[in-house]
Structure 1
């Protein structure tokens, strides 16, 4: 495909701008997915109902409402537009990438639900488990990057 061919499709000349915005918001989203479980590790150690507990609840809520949710929505919208532009829905690498993005979206939902449990004063997981959960976005991101760049299938 020549460099001019990439501009053909529903986006036309806007393609590189949409792609740049998509990558930027992916970075924001993944940064938030790294941040939130780390917050939970620190929050987990606080006494339920304490001033420190309330401060973590507020920080976590801001991370979800200011960073995570808006970035995730923008990533989905721009990603689907890019997929339509490229005709990616018929490509195997895209199906694998899409499955991982769905999994990361579910992970974010699970992390948000866990934050609500912490806010209620329950601590159902061990700190070690939360630290391990913090690795999920990094692993998924590395696999997604390989799928997008290498397109192995």
Structure 2
């Protein structure tokens, strides 16, 4: 079980490192006008998204595997339900980032860098919430 937990944490850290950096690229993409720079940023965004998506999937797989050792316990814990809700929100955030990449590539994204600066902060709150729920187990 400790190996499963270790891999769950490793993949989560890898996923979060990418999910923190990807919207930062969006901030830069939204604020530059040079076509070559925009193209380079688009390439970086697409490659990073493809790189971190398997980490998201592995985080979920190892998390479910870890929970499977004691389903009856976890399903009775309110903090676990809240954690699952935060993970679901992060998956939606991740998929939305993929849609943002497609909009940038097609030239249809007209959001400002300010929007992406705020958007960039959302996973931080999810990380804080998830870690507090898992460590403190409130309720």
- State the TM-score, normalized to the length of structure 1: 0.85
The structure with the larger Rg is: 1
Q: Compute the displacement of 1:45 (Å).
A: 2.3
Question: Which TM-score applies when normalising by structure 2?
Answer: 0.93
Greater than 3 Å deviation, 4+ residue runs: none
Q: State how far apart, in whole Å, the 2-side matches of 1:41 and 1:114 are.
A: 11
Measure, in 1, the Cα distance between the counterparts of 2:40 and 2:58: 28
Deviation of 1:25 (Å): 0.8
Task: Give the distance between the partners of 2:31 and 2:115, measured in 1 at CA.
Answer: 14
Which ranges of structure 2 fall in alignment gaps of 5 or more residues?
none
Work out the number of aligned pairs and report it: 137
Select 1:86's aligned residue among 48, 51, 70.
Answer: 70
Larger proportion of helix: 2
Contact 1:38–1:134 (CA<8 Å) still a contact in 2?
A: yes
Structure 1 unmatched runs, 5+:
1-14
Residues 1:53 and 2:38 aligned together: yes
Q: 1:37-85: CA deviations, max 9, x gaps?
A: 000111112337x22222111111110111x201100001000111111
